[in-house]
Amino acid sequence: MQINKNLIADANQQQLKKHQNKLAIAAEDVNDLETVLQKLSTFNVAIPSWALGTGGTRFGRFSGGGEPRTLEEKLEDVGLIHALNRSSNSISLHIPWDIPDNAPAIKSLATQLGLHFDAVNSNTFQDQAGQKHSYKFGSLHHVDKAVREQAVAHNIEVIKYGKDLGSKALSVWLSDGSNFPGQLNFREAFQNTLESLQSIYSALPDDWKVWVEYKPYEPNFYSTTIADWGQSYLLASKLGPKASTLVDLGHHLQGTNIEQIVSILLMEGKLAGFHFNDSKYGDDDLTVGSVNPYQLFLIFNELVEGMDARNMNHATDIGWMIDASHNIKDPIEDLLQSVQAIKIAYAQALLVDKKALKAAQQNNDVGLAQEILQQAYRTDVRPLVAEASLRTGGALDPVGTFRQLNVRENLIKERGLNTVATGL
Ligand SMILES: [Mn+2]
């Protein structure tokens, strides 16, 4: 299913007058409106293939209707999201959940929908049917070389799938760790992981990157072999220039200052990219901006400041991706909300008066520094985000238009009520 562009234009027309009034008011507070709109127009966030079906927990899964049954239908769903927000022009595949059996056909469908392929993700946290060795006690860090070699071979196979589709990065998240004190020798586990990653690194094409993701706990509850940004950074540094650290917002202990981590990684040129989500307690994978939008803004403030300091292109020099999947919302609506929240935080960060903030910092004017940040955060930038979407052919209100056009009802008609997407 694809959305007829005229339907989006009609929906926009109904809201246009109100939007223009709001934009005129918002524009009064923005110094360089065109630059902000241009940056918002080019900003895209990749959609993970596993977020298009309803997520589950270990207690159960409640599938929604009209879920994509195949990789082709997942691409169609990303196409729907992109048609509505014009900010989701790529998909990140998870192997083996979404193996492209016919790469040229999949690639051509993506092109037709205006999409390309973001990083490919390997999976050595589950055993696959017919696999010789089990990952019960880990993969790249395993005490048995044969298991490590199998996990390395899987990652190299994932690179091959990615090459066929035009991806440029391999994203590695390991669940490797230990559940009980004494189970592991930490140094050996780290060294084994490094050696395995070195084998994968040497198989990377010249123009590829490898992104090393970290996570403090779960599924292992005593130690994780790549537990935090320090361990990821150490691995990425030892591997070489094609390796860097991937930050998933949900992969931190409560209270961690993620914006500071982002700032330092950017300074070192080692921030690969982002997995956006939100959380209240742990790796909750909630809709971006649903629990703590101020933290998201503070992170974007560091991202914009740090990228500008290195003359980086906001839209393309970092991998932006959503990594969320929840079990009670419509997945498309959830993803539309997430991308909107990201664009709102980005727009607010663009509005921060950086010169004034710098001066306040130099003068140790703590109160003024806070005022400057919160001035930007408390600005209603939604008309700016809407205008950027409008100018690129998207909907003024992607979530509202998704509902108004009965997209999910149409998907259910087409695919049926009891469909289940592959993945988590
Ligand atoms: Mn992640």
Q: Compute the distance between CA of residue 162 and CA of residue 121 in angstroms, rounded to an integer.
A: 9
Q: How far is the CA of 47 from the centre of ligand 1 (A)?
A: 12
How high is the pLDDT of residue 62? 81
Q: How far is the CA of 309 from the centre of ligand 1 (A)?
A: 26
Q: How far is the CA of 123 from the centre of ligand 1 (A)?
A: 12
Q: Compute the distance between CA of residue 200 and CA of residue 204 in angstroms, rounded to an integer.
A: 7
CA 297 and chain centroid, separation: 16
Give the whole-number percent of the chain exceeding pLDDT 90: 93
For residue 185, pLDDT over 60 is answered with yes
Q: How far is the CA of 8 from the centre of ligand 1 (A)?
A: 32
pLDDT confidence of 77, banded at 50, 70, 90? very high
pLDDT tens digits for range 191-236: 999 999 999 999 999 999 999 999 999 999 999 999 999 999 999 9
Alpha-carbon distance values, 78 to 28, 34, 95, 258, 335 (Å): 35, 28, 18, 28, 9
Q: How far is the CA of 17 from the centre of ligand 1 (A)?
A: 40
For residue 424, pLDDT over 60 is answered with no
For residue 420, pLDDT over 80 is answered with no
How, if at all, do strands 47-48 and 90-92 pair?
A: parallel
State the distance between the two ends of the chain, measured CA to CA, in whole angstroms: 24
Q: How far is the CA of 168 from the centre of ligand 1 (A)?
A: 17
**For residue 332, what are its two tokens?**
């498309």
- Locate all alpha helices (DSSP H) within 240-309, ordered by sequence: 258-267, 293-309
Q: How far is the CA of 288 from the centre of ligand 1 (A)?
A: 13
**CB within 5 A of ion ligand 1: which residues?**
248, 275, 323
Query: Would you say 36 and 30 are in contact if contact means Cβ atoms under 8 Å apart?
Result: yes
How high is the pLDDT of residue 40? 98
Q: Compute the distance between CA of residue 149 and CA of residue 144 in angstroms, rounded to an integer.
A: 9
Query: Would you say 381 and 375 are in contact if contact means Cβ atoms under 8 Å apart?
Result: no
pTM, rounded to two decimals: 0.97
Cβ-based neighbours of 218, under 8 Å, separated by 6 or more: 282, 283
How high is the pLDDT of residue 421? 75
Q: Which long-range contacts link 184-190 to residues 24+ away (Cβ below 8 Å)?
A: 184/141, 184/223, 184/225, 186/223, 186/225, 188/143, 189/138, 189/141, 189/225, 190/141, 190/225, 190/231, 190/235
Q: How far is the CA of 414 from the centre of ligand 1 (A)?
A: 31
Domains of the chain, CATH where assigned: 45-332 (3.20.20.150)
Q: Which of 391, 408, 410, 412 is nearest to 399 (CA)?
A: 408
How high is the pLDDT of residue 98? 93
What is the Cα Rg of the chain in Å? 22
pLDDT tens digits for range 239-248: 999 999 999 9
Q: State the average pLDDT over residues 115-124.
A: 98
pLDDT tens digits for range 15-73: 999 999 999 999 998 999 999 999 999 999 999 999 998 877 778 888 789 999 999 99
Residue type, 100: P
Give the whole-number percent of the chain exceeding pLDDT 70: 99
How high is the pLDDT of residue 423? 62
Q: Within 13 A of 295's CA, how many CA atoms are on the CB side? A: 20
Q: What is the mean pLDDT of the chain?
A: 96
Q: How far is the CA of 239 from the centre of ligand 1 (A)?
A: 20
**For residue 378, what are its two tokens?**
């408390």
pLDDT tens digits for range 266-288: 999 999 999 999 999 999 999 99
Q: Compute the distance between CA of residue 205 and CA of residue 168 in angstroms, rounded to an integer.
A: 8
Q: How far is the CA of 362 from the centre of ligand 1 (A)?
A: 36
